[in-house]
Structure 1
Amino acid sequence: MLMSDILDANAVKVLSGCTSKKRLFHDLGALAEGVHGLDPTVVIEALIERENLGPTAVGKGIALPHARFDGIDEVCGMFVRLEKPLEFDAADKQPVDLIFALLAPVNAGVQHLKALALVSRTMRNADICAKLRANSDVAALHTLLTATETNQAA
């Protein structure tokens, strides 16, 4: 699986006015509707439901919200860089500014796990994260995320 398989160039955004997780999930719902044609209400509810199980912040300013739901045919991702970091209940107490959201069909199984592993591996790369934080151009952000394509998935 390649990052370019799950991350459309139009699914990358920089947000300046995001003040809460709820606002972020609404922005992700709108992005999912615009890029993937998904029902934003379903996306928002699925992300909130998953977040209620436990925070998806993984530390070092990164969050990987993800959800499975009906009405989607394949795993897809969205990347958001926040200009102002947001409290996300991370274990390391650091606010989040890099968010990679994954949406998957209920029956995605291994594909969902492979995508999550790929995104996690990419976002653990400190060099990539530094470059993502230093850039506001969405095309450059997409290129940074997809430039180190790999077929290896955990």
Structure 2
Amino acid sequence: MTIQDILPATGIKVIAGASSKKRMLHDLGDMAEASFSLDHSMVVDALMEREGLGPTGVGHGVALPHARLPGLTKVCGLFLRLKKAIDFDSVDRQPVDLAFALFAPEDAGVEHLKALALVSRTLRDENICTKLRANEDPATIYTILTEASAAQAA
């Protein structure tokens, strides 16, 4: 599995004005509706419910919000780069400016975990995060993410 398998080229957005975690989750709901024809409210509710179990801010300005959703047949993802970092209750208490959201079928077992591990490994790389933060073009961001994933798989 590579990032290219789960992230469509159209699933990347750079946002200037997310003011809170809740607003960012709503932005992800909008993106999921546009990219995967998922119901906005269902996506936001599932992400909020997951955040209630424990924040998905993994540190170093990165969040990995994720949820299992009915109607999906495979794991899919979206990437959001915030121009202004927001409080996300991260483990290291640092604000978040990079978020990779994952959505999995309700019955997804190991595929969901493999996708989380892949994205986590990719965004743990300081050089990749620096490149992502230095770019605002979604096509460039997509290339950075997919090339990093392909290099790891090799």
Does the pair score TM above 0.5? yes
Q: Write the letter of the residue equivalent to 2:49.
A: E
> Secondary structure of 2:9's partner?
strand
> Runs (4+) of structure 1 moved beyond 3 Å?
none
Per-residue deviation at 1:151?
3.6
Aligned twin of 1:6: 6
The farther-off stretch of 142-151 and 58-67 is 142-151
> Secondary structure of 1:147's partner?
helix
Hey, what's the Cα distance between the residues in 1 that align with 2:114 and 2:93?
Answer: 27
Per-residue deviation at 1:32?
0.4
Hey, what's the Cα distance between the residues in 1 that align with 2:136 and 2:118?
Answer: 23
> Secondary structure of 1:41's partner?
helix
Q: Write the letter of the residue equivalent to 1:84.
A: K
The gaps in structure 2 that reach 5 residues or longer are none
Matches within 5 A, 1:82-97: 82-97=82-97
Hey, what's the Cα distance between the residues in 1 that align with 2:22 and 2:153?
Answer: 34
Aligned twin of 1:73: 73
Q: Write the letter of the residue equivalent to 2:17.
A: G
Hey, what's the Cα distance between the residues in 2 that align with 1:73 and 1:29?
Answer: 18
Q: Deviations over 1:92-140 (max 9, x none)?
A: 1110000000000011101100000000000001000000000000000
Aligned twin of 1:133: 133
Q: Write the letter of the residue equivalent to 1:23.
A: R
Identical positions, percent: 57
- Aligned CA-pair RMSD: 1.0
TM normalised by structure 2 equals 0.96
1:51 aligns with 2:51: yes
Aligned twin of 1:27: 27
Q: Write the letter of the residue equivalent to 2:137.
A: D
Q: Write the letter of the residue equivalent to 2:105.
A: P
Per-residue deviation at 1:73?
1.4
Hey, what's the Cα distance between the residues in 2 that align with 1:11 and 1:33?
Answer: 11
> Secondary structure of 1:9's partner?
coil
The gaps in structure 1 that reach 5 residues or longer are none
Q: Write the letter of the residue equivalent to 2:142.
A: H
Q: Would you say how many aligned residue pairs link Structure 1 and Structure 2?
A: 152
